[in-house]
Amino acid sequence: MIKKIAILTSGGDAPGMNAAIRAIVKSAHCNNIETYVVKQGYLGLYKGDIVKVNNDDIEHILNLGGTFIFSARFPEFKDIANRKIAKKNLDKLGIDALVVIGGDGSYKGAQKLSELGINSIALPGTIDNDIASTDFTIGFFTAWNTIVNSIAQIRDTMNSHHRIGIVEVMGNKCQDLSFFSGISSDVDYTAMPDEVLTAKDVARIYEISKKNKKNSCLILVTEKTYKNIHEFASKIEKETKVVTRATSLGHIQRGGMPVPMDKYIATMMGNKAVELLIAGKSSRCIGIVNNKFVDYDIERALDQPRTNRTEMVRIINKINR
């Protein structure tokens, strides 16, 4: 029987992580299980920065963006000697289960700890939506909402000056943020990492936008599609003789109060994590598939291919013309 659960957030922060922590703590306490939080992810686990928490400690965090227990990159966790130190830190406190909230790298850490005897469950916390075993990740909806609002504001100023705008969003080569934002925003074209636009391509798109009596042209791109979007904007301006401005939305996409959908997903996943641990399951990750909350073996989840949005993006780009 699980008696003590620890929680950590790892990798990039995502809106809704705090909601997941809150759900885990509250669900655990309903089942008379003590809860602890690990500060700064796997780095904090290695250092032994582990603190006991109660319901009173997490009541205020539902609407907070980011992660109130902090996160950090710790690639050294790949070393089994460091993982064994982390396990000793958990053992000292009698903690027999761990819930990890993060991306695929965080999943791998949870899997490795399971191999050392720590009951581990992973939740998908990343704005990129780049975990194949779930339709949506914690934080994706909030980032998507932020991008759509930002694009509307950028369009306003591009319209005011008859300019071309390039908007770069996060995704780490995953197309989901740009794909979903492109569908729900007034952009003229969504560029993909596997189909890179040239300045001449943008010039043709700009001419189409003029024929459609638009006052500006807006191109949406996923990060890492171009080495430097400001240099790309300069090439477009040289090609079109139209003032072109590039905007990288950057970390604004990670921050802010989570939207209701992210809070819902996080809460349901947090509760399911506790249920799985009580049932004696380990090395599992949780996802939402076809509106149902499911769990997979972590290794199987990591082997699943991501959904390729290329053809769907082509359809949207054709419609937008």
The residues carrying an active-site annotation are 128
Helix 104-115 vs helix 80-92: angle between axes, to the nearest 10 degrees? Answer: 70
The residue among 218, 105, 128, 221 whose CA lies nearest residue 176 is: 128
Residue type, 11: G
The residue among 222, 237, 235 whose CA lies nearest residue 163 is: 237
Asked if 21 and 268 count as a contact pair (C-beta separation under 8 A), the reply is no
Residue with tokens 């690990």: 38
DSSP SS3 for 249: coil
The CA–CA distances, whole Å, from 153 to 177, 226, 258 equal: 18, 23, 20
Q: Which two tokens stand for residue 59?
A: 């009541």
Alpha-carbon distance of 35 to 179, in angstroms, equals 38
